[in-house]
Amino acid sequence: MVSPSYYLTLSAILFGLGVIGFLFKRNIITLFMSIELMLNAVNLAFVTFSRQWGELSGQVYVFFVIIVAAAEAAVGLAIILLLARNRQTLNVERINLLKL
């Protein structure tokens, strides 16, 4: 029997790695992957708690987190594609870009 604190520690490590990846990486797509890593850690925590309480709503929550991750990925990757496509055709009307 593995103690739940081990699962929670694993979840915290994965979450921390996701946060670090998000803040220190330069590549947009890797930033997205870091967010997926964070959500994955959240899922692990939910499943652990669900097991401890013997109660299933934690598992249902994970199901919704995965839906949300899918929706975010779809919208985000569409925006990345759009941005990549627009790089060549810069609109002269708006030259000053955001201070990114």
Partner 1 sequence: MVEQFTFYFFAALAVISAVLVVTVRNAVYSAVFLITTLLATAGIFLQLRAEFLFVVQIILYVGGIMVLFVFVVMLVDLDVALRQVQFNRQKWVALLVVLAVAGQLVFALALGSEALGLPAAAPESLEPNTESVGLRLFESYMLPFEIASILLLVAMIGAVLLGKRQKPPRSEA
Partner 2 sequence: MPTLFPNPEELALILPQIWLAAFGLAILLLDFLLGPRQKWVNAFGALLGVAASGVALWRLRGVHAVGVPGFGGAIVVDPFFVFFGFLFLASTALVILLSVRYLEVEEEHRGEYYALMLFATVGMMFLAAGTDLVVIFVALETMAASFYVLTGYLRRDKRSNEAALKYLLLGAFSSGLLAYGFSVLYGMAGSTRLTEIGYAFRTPSNEIFPVVALVAVAAGLFFKVAAVPFHQWAPDVYEGAPTPVTAYVSVASKAASFAVLMRLFLVVFEPMRANWELLLGGIALATMTWGNLAALTQTNVKRLLAYSSIAHVGYILLGLVAGNETGLKGMAFYLFAYAFMNTGAFAIVILLRRKGVIGDELDDMNGLIYRNPTAAVLMVIFLISLAGIPPTAGFLGKYFIFLSLIESQHYLLAVFAVLYIVPAVYYYFRIVVHMWLREATDATRPAISPAQAVALAACTLVTLGALLYAEPFVRLATYSLLGSVVR
Considering only residues 19-78, where is the footprint of partner 1 by CB under 8 A? 19-34, 36-37, 40, 43-44, 47-54, 56-57, 59-60, 62-64, 66-75, 77-78
Site for partner 2, residues 15 to 74, rule: CB under 8 A: 15, 18, 22, 28, 31-32, 35, 38-39, 41-42, 45-46, 48-50, 52-53, 55, 57-58, 60-61, 64-65, 67-68, 71-72
CA–CA gap between residue 17 and residue 33 (Å, rounded): 11
Angstrom distances, CA of residue 57 to CA of 22, 34, 64? 29, 26, 11
CA–CA gap between residue 61 and residue 38 (Å, rounded): 15
Backbone angles phi, psi at 18, to 5 degrees: -60, -45
By CB under 8 A, is residue 14 in contact with partner 1?
yes
Nearer to partner 2 by Cβ, of 1 and 45: the residue is 45
Residue 58 C-beta: closest distance to partner 2, Å: 6
Binds 9: which of partner 1, partner 2, none (CB < 5-8 Å by kind): partner 1
CA–CA gap between residue 13 and residue 91 (Å, rounded): 44
Three-state SS for 87?
A: coil
